[in-house]
Amino acid sequence: MTNLLATETSSYLRQHAENPVDWYPWSEEAFRRARDEDKPILLSVGYAACHWCHVMAHESFENPRIASLMNERYISIKVDRQERPDIDDIYQQVSQMMGQGGGWPLTVFLTPQGEPFFGGTYFPPDDRYGRPGLVRVLMSLSEAWRHRREELRDTIAQFREGFRQLDQANLDGEATGIGDLPAEAARALARNTDPVHGGLGGAPKFPNPSCYDLMLRVYHRRGEPTLLDAVERTLDHMAAGGIYDQLGGGFARYSVDARWAVPHFEKMLYDNGQLVKLYADAYRLTGKEAWRRVVEETIGYVLRDMTHPGGGFYAGEDADSEGQEGKFYVWTVAGIEAVLGDSDGAMACQAYGVTEHGNFEHGATVLQRAVELDALQAACLAGWRERLLAARGRRVRPARDDNILTGWNGLMIEGLCAAFQATGCLEYLSAAQRAASFIQSELTLPDGGVYRAWNDGRAKVPGFLEDYAFLSNALLDLYESCFDKRYLDRAVELAALILDKFWEDGLYFTPCDSEPLVHRPRAPYDNAWPSGISTSVFAFLRLHELTGHDLYRDRAEHELRRYEAAAAKAPAGFAHFLAALNFARRSPVEIIFAGDKSGAAALVTSVHRAYLPARVLAFAEDVPIGRERHPVKGRPTAYVCRNRTCAAPVTDGKALLELCTS
């Protein structure tokens, strides 16, 4: 017997349709029933590729005894954090205020009005791992609801005050005494980078692409070697480690150790989109071929395994297959030799660090580039990889999260555009264009706005700030890649909608006309992907340079002033914001091309191949700042301008780059 989740668009919600729990989706119907029956709400938030969400589901939500207790005493609501990041953001703060950190599954207990009074993440069915069991939590909170409700009211008031204080802490103060905040932040992040393996902090270790993007940008401006060293160490060790799929390409969510050796195996689109861009930018700066290989292999993975036939990109892949985490990815010595034979197998095991005792469970090994390859191994590696990948393809694949999310597609489009500009591979540009077309046809609201998510032929939930902001920047990248003015016009339209829908004395995460929640989040922090606020600031700054409209600059400066002090206190949480601040304070270079677009290909390519993080590109006929910019003697010409002051026009790619970097 199925519950109400069976008809939902979200693949995560549908995973729970057969639970004996009487689940509701987030809906007025659920809250009305809670009010009518005077029951508290159990809110469970997760996503389709979440390993511990699956564990809690198997242990508790599929358990008839626990389900009966939930059905008797609670109204249970299941939310996909990918569809409703606003709900997730609000109630993650509850868990954090209780000192339990954040993460998924998120489990929060609410009044019928949506007010939180208790929260946490994963609860085992019974007391275990130093955590209270879900049964005990359900019983004790039910008794408190029935007999000690005034105590819960006090707790609710404390959470409301906590929301207010968190918002105020981000808005208060000024960043005084720091002359170059992005540079100081980049230096601090470089100092905190693991001196051996790269990456920030210890285990578990996350890629943090926004932090290393900031270091790369500041290095380009200031030339401080320690910044590039931190980036190189991190990118090299990630690409050599088990967090990177050595056979199929693409990055896992994080590594459980400090050496990038053993990943949490789920793969998410937002990580791979950002990391493609970071590696492509680092390749443009250094010319390091190993980083180009990572770009090519990761895009190969996304196009092969994560792309809808219509062009949109799926949200992620599970960590588990056949009920075991990582089973699809790991190898044994015997397994390698069965595919490659004894001689090649022995060399491949050495190259990939496969041993009899393994580095994972049950003697298995997560592949990594464990040693320096000799000439023979290096020559054979491509062939070994192809044969091992084919053999792995016969295994049972992890489940795929078929949600197609506007914002995350925007991040992947940005990665593809960076890769196209760095390599000239037209396949990458074509994939970015197809994804943009998919969003336009399947995820566009009647008023020109965007939906958040699409699945199984249906779009659901109006988009949030990050969806508009990521897509606007992605379309600007597409315009700068192929100079089709449709992309520029659509980016301008989305920026206007951001100001119309999300601006009320600053940017909010939710639209002005969205359903009222217990708290309206601004969400200025970066999470695993950049914040909607910092990404909107980037879009505004870029559009100001291209259009000359002062409103974009004024709105960007408003948000830069508002969060500058918070960014100074927590640079890792505001790395993308600091990158936008770096862009704003550097006087971006405007490069305006004049002449036939196809004839200007050599000039454009010279700029595309270079790492120029503080620039905007346009053809003269497409933008107001292009007026009076004409070809010189009939030849394609580039005008390099800063602060509306232009150097003499140039017709040579080398001279153009010299102007851009002077």
Q: What is the pLDDT of residues 39-74, one digit of tens each?
A: 999 999 999 999 999 999 999 999 999 999 999 999
pLDDT tier at 177 (50, 70, 90 boundaries)?
low
496 by Cβ neighbours in 10 Å (0-12 / 13-18 / 19+) ranks as: middle
The CB-side HSE value for 26 (13 A sphere, CA atoms) comes to 23
Q: Taking the alpha carbons of 199, 201, 207, 212 in that order, is the dihedral positive or negative?
A: negative
- What is the structure's pLDDT at 221? 94
Distance of alpha carbon 631 from alpha carbon 201, whole angstroms: 52
State mean pLDDT over 574-592.
Answer: 95
- What is the structure's pLDDT at 172? 63
pLDDT in tens, 250-265: 999 999 999 999 999 9
Distance of alpha carbon 245 from alpha carbon 389, whole angstroms: 10
- What is the structure's pLDDT at 170? 80
Distance of alpha carbon 177 from alpha carbon 175, whole angstroms: 7
- What is the structure's pLDDT at 295? 98
Cis peptide before 105 (omega within 30 of 0): yes
**Are 212 and 230 spatial neighbours (Cβ–Cβ below 8 Å)?**
yes
- What is the structure's pLDDT at 69? 98
Backbone φ and ψ of 433, nearest 5°: -65, -40
- What is the structure's pLDDT at 176? 63
pLDDT tier at 175 (50, 70, 90 boundaries)?
low
Distance of alpha carbon 530 from alpha carbon 558, whole angstroms: 18
| Local structure of 420: helix, strand or coil | helix
Residue 178 has pLDDT above 80, yes or no: no
| Local structure of 159: helix, strand or coil | helix
Radius of gyration over every alpha carbon of the chain, rounded to an integer in angstroms: 26
The CB-side HSE value for 242 (13 A sphere, CA atoms) comes to 26
Distance of alpha carbon 640 from alpha carbon 618, whole angstroms: 11
Tallying the residues shown for the chain, one arrives at 662
pLDDT in tens, 537-560: 999 999 999 999 999 999 999 999
Distance of alpha carbon 17 from alpha carbon 116, whole angstroms: 25
- What is the structure's pLDDT at 653? 93
The CB-side HSE value for 168 (13 A sphere, CA atoms) comes to 6
From residue 413, alpha-carbon distances to 73, 82, 115, 469 in Å are 46, 18, 38, 13
CB neighbour list of residue 193: distance below 8 Å, 6 or more residues apart: 199, 200, 230, 233, 234
- What is the structure's pLDDT at 129? 80
Residue 656 has pLDDT above 70, yes or no: yes
From residue 228, alpha-carbon distances to 55, 124, 322, 419 in Å are 40, 44, 42, 20
**Are 317 and 305 spatial neighbours (Cβ–Cβ below 8 Å)?**
yes
- What is the structure's pLDDT at 1? 72
Question: Phi/psi class of residue 462: alpha, beta or left (left: φ > 0; alpha: ψ in -120 to 50)?
Answer: beta
pLDDT tier at 208 (50, 70, 90 boundaries)?
very high
Return the bridge partners of 430, or none.
Answer: none
pLDDT in tens, 585-634: 888 999 999 999 999 999 999 999 999 999 999 999 999 989 889 999 99
Residue 376 has pLDDT above 80, yes or no: no
Residue 352 has pLDDT above 90, yes or no: yes
State mean pLDDT over 119-135.
Answer: 92
pLDDT in tens, 468-527: 999 999 999 999 999 999 999 999 999 999 999 999 999 999 999 999 999 999 999 999
Residue 35 has pLDDT above 90, yes or no: yes
pLDDT tier at 102 (50, 70, 90 boundaries)?
confident
pLDDT tier at 179 (50, 70, 90 boundaries)?
confident
State mean pLDDT over 21-45.
Answer: 98
User: For helices 225-240 and 289-305, what crossing angle results, to 10°?
Assistant: 50
Residue 99 has pLDDT above 90, yes or no: no
Residue 320 has pLDDT above 80, yes or no: yes
**150, 156, 161, 163: CA torsion to nearest 10:** 180
- What is the structure's pLDDT at 374? 73
